[in-house]
Chains A and B, each alone.
Chain A
Amino acid sequence: MSDTSIQQSIVQRGSRAEEVSTQRPSRFSPRWRNEAVGVGFVLPLLIVYVLFLLWPIVLGLRMSFFNWSLVGSGSGNFLGLANYQEALSDPNFWGALGNTLIFTVMSTPILVILSLFLAILVNRVRHVRWLFRIAFFAPYILPVSVMALIWSWLYEPGFGLLDGTFAQLGLPSVNWLTDTHVAMLSIVIATVWWTLGFDFVLYLAGLQQIPHEMYEAASLDGAGAWAKVWHITIPLLQRSTILIIILQVIASLQVFGQMYLLTGGGPNFTTRSVVEYIYDTGFTDFRVGYASAMSYLVFIVILVISVGQFWILSRQGRND
C-alpha cells in the first residue's frame, strides 16, 4: 500500500477495475462463461457478506419498527416510527449520546497531538527505534479486557499504583472510577494508553512518505528544525491527520468495552456510552426493537461521517 489513506486508493483503483475488464475481454471463452466463473469466485465471500452484514442491516431496520422483544413474543406489534420517537425524547439516550461525544471530544485531540509528537520524535532517532515502537504500540495489541483488568488495578483506591503514588507524594486520594467528575477522564487516560499506538504507527508511515528533498531545500533556506516541522511536516501529514481523526471519531462513537468493564457505565451513568445503552436496552431489558432503532440513529451519524471521509479523501486525491 503506497499510502496510509486506503480510501483514496480505493477510489482510484475502483475506476481502474472497470478499465481492466473492458480492455481484456477473453477471446478463448464466451462471455457468459467468464461471468459464471467470476461470480463463482466471488460467491463464498458474497454469501457471508449478504448473510452476516447486509441481512442484519435489513433485519435491524425491520425490528426497529416493531415492539420486538428478545424473549417470548418475538416481533410484537408494528409500531411504525414510535421507537424512533421514543429514542429522540429519551433522556437516557441523549445522556448516553452526550457521554459518547464527551469521550470523543476529550480523547481525539490528545490522541492526535500526542501520537503526532511521538511519531515525529521517533522518526528522528537512529537507534533503538524498534524499542520505542514496541513500547508505544504494544498496548494496542492487548484485548480490551486485559487493558481493563490492568487499569482497574492501577485505579484501585488506597493501594493501586496511582492512589498509592499520590499518597506517597502527599497528594489527596482520588476516586478515579467512582467520582462523577473524574471517571470519564480516567477512561480517556486508559484509552489513550491503549490505542495511541495505532495512530502513532499511521503517522510514522505518513512521515516516511515525505520526500527528503523538501527538508534539504528548507535547510538551504535557513529554516530551523521547528520551522520545518511546522511548515513541512505537519502540512504534508494533513491526509494522515484527516484519516486518523475520522477513524478515531468513528471508533469513539462505538466505544463500549473499556466503559463497560472499567465503570459499568457508572458512576450515576456518567460514563455510559451509547453502545452500552443499546446493549442494556437490548440484552438486559430485552427490548431489541427499541435497541435497533437507537442503533439505526447512531448508524446514520457514523454513515454520514464515513461518507464525508470518502468525499474529502477522494477530493484530495484529485487535487494532488
Chain B
Amino acid sequence: MATQSITSATSATTAQHRPHPNRLVGSAATYIILAVLAILWVIPLLWALDTALKHESETTLVPISWFAPSGFTLNAFIETLSSSDLPRWYFNSLLTSAVITILTVLFASLAGFAFSRIPFRSKGFFFWLILAGIMVPGQILIVPLFTMMQSLGMVNTYWGIILPQLASPVAMFIFKQYFDGIPQELEDAAVMDGASRLRIYWQIWMPLAKPAIAAVAIFTFVWSWNNFIWPFLVITGTNMMTVPVGLATVQTSYGIRYAQIMATAILGGLPLLIIFIFFQRQIVQGFVGTGLKG
C-alpha cells in the first residue's frame, strides 16, 4: 500500500507552516500510483480525441494504433460543425440552461431571503414543505410529468424543457444558509430609511450574496446542460434537441463513422470541459455543497 510507504517521520515543525498541515510530504510512490490512475482516467478521452483526428478510413485498422498512417486531420470536426445539427443543439442547450439558471437563482434567492430575513408565521411550514422536495427522486416523476406536459401542449417546446427544472429546494437552501450568515446591521440602516423589502433584497442582500449566486448558477447550469432523461422525453424533433439528447441519436444516424462520432462527442462535451477548467474550484465546491442533487 502506498500509504505505508509514506514516512511518519514528517516533522511537525515543517507542517505547522502550512495551511493544511496534514498534507504530508508525498513520497514518490504516492505520485506514481496517482499518475498511473490519472493516466488511466484520461485514456478514454485521449482515445476519443485520437480517433476524431484520424481519417475515417483509418479508425478501424487492426491491429489498433494510436498513430495514423496518413497523418492526423481536422476533417471530422469540420464536417461535424458544418453539416450536423450540433450547432443548433448548442443553441438549444445554451438557451434552456441559461433561462433555467437565471430563474432558479431568482426564485431560490427570493425564497431563501424570505426564509432567512422576513419574520412571518407560515415560514416554518413553507420552508419544510419546499425542503422536503429534496427527497423526491426526479426520475420517478417522469411519467406523470410527461402526461401533464402533454395536456398543457408543452411537448417539444423550450418551456417543456425549462419549467420542470425550476423547482430547486437545494438552491433555496443554499441561499437561505448564506443569508443566515450575513450580519444584520446593514439592513437595519436601510429599514430606517424606509426602503421596501424588495429594494433591500435587491440592493443590499443580493450584492452581498455573490458567492452563493455563483455557486448556485454554476451547478444549475451544469446540471441542466447535462440533464438527459427529461429533455429526451419531452423533445421529439431533432431541431429542438439539447446537446445530450442530440448526441444520443448520433450513433444510429451516423452509422459506423467513428471519427465523426468521436468528434461529435468531444465537441458535445467541450463547452462544459472548458467551463470546468476555468471554474474548477467553484464547480467542485458547488457539487460538494449540493451533493444531494447528484
Contact = CB atoms under 8 A, between A and B. Distances in A.
A124 B29 CA distance: 11
A46 B163 contact: no
A38 B197 CA distance: 9
Interface residues of B, number: 128
The main secondary structure of chain A at its interface with chain B is helix
A20 B228 CA distance: 40
Interface in A233-276: 243, 247, 250-251, 253-254, 256-257, 261, 275
A247 B115 CA distance: 26
A151 interface: yes
Contacts of A254: 137-140
Contacts of A39: 114, 120, 122, 126
Interface stretch (A86-94, A102-110, A174-182, A298-306): A298-306
A31 B121 contact: yes
Nearest to B120: A38
A14 interface: yes
A222 B7 CA distance: 11
B2 to A, nearest CB: 6
Contacts of A156: 258
B284 interface: yes
Contact of A225 (B7, B33, B43, B163): B7
Interface string B264-275: 111011001101
A229 interface: yes
Given A161-B64, A225-B6, A288-B143, A26 B119 contact: yes
Interface in A208-237: 208, 210, 212, 215-216, 219, 222-226, 228-229
5 contacts: A136-B37, A150-B262, A165-B64, A225-B7, A295-B143
Given A21-B119, A53-B167, A60-B143, 17 more contacts: A21-B123, A41-B110, A41-B197, A45-B130, A52-B145, A121-B34, A127-B26, A132-B38, A138-B273, A141-B283, A143-B243, A143-B247, A145-B244, A149-B268, A160-B64, A253-B137, A254-B138
